[in-house]
Structure 1
Amino acid sequence: MTQKQSKPIIFQGSLHKKNYFEGWYYKQVSSDQKTSLSFIPGISLSEHDPHSFIQYILVETHEDGRKETQTGYVRFPLESFTFQHNPFSVQIGQSEFTERFIDIDLVDDSMTFKGRLELDHLMPIQQSRLHPNIMGVFAYIPKMECYHGVISMNHSIQGDMLVGDRIEQFTGGKGYIEKDWGTSFPKHYIWLQSNHFNDATTSLFFSIAHIPFHFTEFEGFICNLVHQGKEYRFATYNLSRCDIVTITSNHVTLHLENRHARLDISAEVSHRANLIAPVKGTMQKTVKEGISGTLSIRLEDKKTGEIYAGKGLNAGVEIVDYEFETE
């Protein structure tokens, strides 16, 4: 188990790779849950257009309950990307991303972000030699299309930020960090995330995707649920089962099960906007993401008999290129 496998937040690639991408996903939600803001710093090492970038997705809830979503993709020269491993840091232009803080100085055509947010009490996932990160044993397999890392299921935020022409207070809010790297995003996938449940200890991440695997292909999935300090992992690599019960472009219901627990998830998204995803290292595929969706879950622990049912707000939801039922 190498440092890169056990600590996926550090830069996994090199600037000499071809048709390669790497991106970090930092999500912040204000304490009043009226502002959700995600930053995605990354690099695209395509042959004809190598560059670094910072994407953002901003969702604001107005006093009348109306939600407004804005996204942007800010390009930088590849030379603007610098990194270090210990302590971890990635800097693009005047913005820096670490495990302890994010320091943003970003100007887009229609939006400005400036401020420093402190990240406290990060919640990493459980790791072992067999499962060094959320990919499990697949973390050891070379040349997969897309690798994934979950850095923090939940953490607290301190600080404020200039968003447009006003100061947004994030102190007392919650954050989440994950990342992806490889050559391309899957040709179809579902991604869900929330750490704003009625039980404040609860956090959930889920993904199912088409995975090309050497001379074959399969649907692989990972789900990590933390509740009351206990982690429940459902994944292809630990012989869990995942059934997509219903799916439309805005809604999905899922049933997951293994020998330890059962989990039902219902996800709904209504406010989405465009983000840019990689294909063979080139940032060219448009996907729609919402970070103001809702998740309803029901967990049954087979050992204790405990049942938890809860609703997660400010949920990240992506349902990309599946064959949908009639809505």
Structure 2
Amino acid sequence: MPFQDCLLPETFQGKYAQAPYFEGWYFRLQNGSHSISLIPGICLNPQPHAYLQILNGEKGTSSYQEYPFSAFRFRQDRFAISVGENHFSSTSIHLREPQLHGDISFTNRVPFCAHRLNTGMMGPFAFVPWLQCRHGVVTIRSTLAGALTDDTGTMDFTGGIGYVEKDWGKAFPQPYLWTQAHFGLSTFMLCLARVPLPGGALTGILAFLYTGQKRYLFSTYTGTRLSTICRTEDGAWHLIFRTPFHRLFLRLIIHKGLTLRAPGTQGMNREIQEDPHADLSVRLATCGGDTVFQGQSADASAEIVGDLLKLTKQA
């Protein structure tokens, strides 16, 4: 991977990639009961192709549309990609699928990093060559304007909230937990996974909380550790993370999910479930127990794949 690409993680990273390889961007649009997630991307194996996945949380439907690889186009100097006649960037979406079309613009955008050149969520891990999968956040939150229309009517997203992230690499890890939610003007994301290493594995942590115009970053490379993970009789997952300065407490309940195709080493052949209406509670406290932030959402997106209890094992 060229050095300059590591400093522009939101842009297309796969110019020189060889199979197995995937790269996908995740756009989440919310406004009241309207909930749509759009995932444009590419996969190089077993047959190179582009794709667009659409998850409709309001109607409980999902779809995967495959395109020729030649239908994928990208800008090298900034984040802007196209899959067929569908165009995606950090400022807008232009969607022209037969089953869903419309235009969405993003204003009041809060990027993950204000500096143009940055390593994003991966931090120093951006330069580690053997990682199975990498994760990035493009937009923490933005205000939406526009609408999308399908065969049943028009969904107005004006005034809603947008979120954008991405993944790229050889395959999704397993096991892993991912969740993202907005709490009023605050935003949270967690990606917790078993990361293969030469000769072993470790539990990798990438998370952030944006609140009060301040971003708290929780990651393996900043000293964050998973101290507790368990599931109670009511089906809730409870997690506690420790950092040198804070304690992060999570409670997550996942209900029925939507089918999502995910990358494995043999292509987009894994089916996972994503719940667009999971229940998530987050509390951030100082080491002395004082609450810094507390929030709850019944509209968190969440995925759990594999046996999460394996995340407690050491390398």
- Tell me the TM-score normalised to structure 1 length: 0.87
Q: Secondary structure at the match of 2:57?
A: strand
CA distance in 2, matches of 1:79, 1:14: 13
CA distance in 2, matches of 1:151, 1:250: 32
1:207-238 deviations in whole A, cap 9, x for unaligned? 11011122321111111011111211111111
Q: Secondary structure at the match of 2:5?
A: helix
Q: What count of residue pairs does the alignment treat as equivalent?
A: 308
1:182 aligns with 2:169: yes
Amino acid at match of 1:19: P
Give 1:293 shift: 1.2
CA distance in 2, matches of 1:128, 1:179: 18
1:34 aligns with 2:33: yes
User: Of 145, 149, 163, which aligns to 1:158?
Assistant: 145
CA distance in 2, matches of 1:185, 1:306: 34
**What's the counterpart of residue 283 of structure 2?**
298
**What's the counterpart of residue 268 of structure 2?**
283
Amino acid at match of 1:316: S
Seen in structure 2, the aligned counterparts of structure 1 residues 316 and 79 have a Cα distance that, compared at 3 Å, is same
Amino acid at match of 2:192: I
Seen in structure 2, the aligned counterparts of structure 1 residues 324 and 237 have a Cα distance that, compared at 3 Å, is closer
CA distance in 2, matches of 1:250, 1:173: 30
CA distance in 2, matches of 1:321, 1:251: 16
Seen in structure 2, the aligned counterparts of structure 1 residues 15 and 54 have a Cα distance that, compared at 3 Å, is farther
1:1-327 alignment runs, 5 A limit: 2-14=3-15, 17-30=18-31, 33-46=32-45, 48-60=46-58, 68-107=59-98, 112-126=99-113, 132-195=119-182, 197=183, 200-247=184-231, 251-280=236-265, 282-302=267-287, 305-322=290-307
1:157-211 deviations in whole A, cap 9, x for unaligned? 000110333011000000110000011100210001001x1xx221100011011
Give 1:309 shift: 2.0
1:54-106 deviations in whole A, cap 9, x for unaligned? 0111111xxxxxxx411110010111111112342111111000111011011
CA distance in 2, matches of 1:161, 1:128: 32
CA distance in 1, matches of 2:27, 2:107: 13
% same residue: 29
Seen in structure 2, the aligned counterparts of structure 1 residues 260 and 163 have a Cα distance that, compared at 3 Å, is farther
Structure 2 unaligned spans of 5+:
311-315
Contact in 2 for aligned 1:160/1:171 (Cα 8 Å): yes
CA distance in 1, matches of 2:228, 2:287: 21
In angstroms, what is the RMSD of aligned CA positions?
Answer: 2.5
CA distance in 1, matches of 2:193, 2:44: 23
Seen in structure 2, the aligned counterparts of structure 1 residues 16 and 230 have a Cα distance that, compared at 3 Å, is closer
Amino acid at match of 1:174: I
CA distance in 1, matches of 2:17, 2:291: 51
CA distance in 2, matches of 1:253, 1:90: 38
Seen in structure 2, the aligned counterparts of structure 1 residues 262 and 304 have a Cα distance that, compared at 3 Å, is closer
Seen in structure 2, the aligned counterparts of structure 1 residues 308 and 18 have a Cα distance that, compared at 3 Å, is closer
- Tell me the TM-score normalised to structure 2 length: 0.91
Contact in 1 for aligned 2:79/2:90 (Cα 8 Å): yes
Deviates more, 1:235-244 or 1:18-27: 235-244
Seen in structure 2, the aligned counterparts of structure 1 residues 250 and 94 have a Cα distance that, compared at 3 Å, is farther
CA distance in 2, matches of 1:254, 1:41: 31
